[in-house]
């Protein structure tokens, strides 16, 4: 699922889905007006430069209920990920306690949709700074397979 700015009633992300979001500062890429259940992969695209301490809100959940359940694959609360050369820390309790927020912790990230030298955009970052050996080709194939599945589901 790829989003520029989308609002939905609720969202349940299956483990085999990659959610590609392009947050723009505090403007969320995805607003969820219902339950938010995460289980798949997060890929982040930037549409402008980001500097240390800047916060991005990929997902805003308006519900006052249970909040966000689950996490993106490999990204527990407080985990770090690299996006276009910048290091971000994820929180599933941002905003009023329900938003998914990325806070830039080091470096400056650019608005380049290509993979930085450190690995594919938005991939989980291990304690040693690696991206778990995922290649840009693997990430691209996953994104293409996800897009194809969505197209085929729409034709059914």
Q: Which residues of the chain have pLDDT under 70?
A: 1-5, 25-26, 63-66, 107-108, 112-156
The pTM of the full predicted model, rounded to 2 decimals, is: 0.66
Distance between CA atoms of residues 71 and 84, nearest Å: 22
Q: Are 5 and 27 in contact (CB under 8 A)?
A: yes
pLDDT in tens, 6-24: 777 777 887 877 777 777 7
Q: Hey, which residues does 11 pair with through a beta bridge? A: 36
- Measured from the Cβ of residue 112, the count of other Cβ atoms closer than 10 Å reads 14
């Amino acid at each position: 699922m790829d989003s520029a700015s989308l609002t939905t009633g609720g969202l349940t992300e299956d483990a085999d889905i990659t959610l590609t979001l392009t947050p723009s500062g505090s403007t969320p890429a995805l607003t969820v007006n219902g339950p938010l259940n995460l289980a798949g992969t997060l890929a982040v695209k930037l549409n402008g430069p980001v500097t240390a301490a800047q916060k991005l809100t990929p997902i805003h959940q308006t519900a006052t209920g249970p909040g966000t359940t689950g996490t993106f694959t490999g990204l527990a609360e407080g985990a770090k990920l690299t996006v276009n050369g910048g290091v971000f820390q994820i929180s599933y309790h941002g905003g009023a306690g329900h938003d998914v927020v990325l806070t830039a912790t080091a470096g400056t990230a650019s608005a380049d949709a290509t993979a930085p030298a450190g690995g594919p955009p938005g991939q989980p970052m291990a304690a040693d700074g690696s991206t778990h050996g995922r290649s840009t080709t693997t990430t691209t194939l996953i994104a293409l397979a996800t897009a194809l599945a969505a197209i085929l589901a729409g034709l059914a």
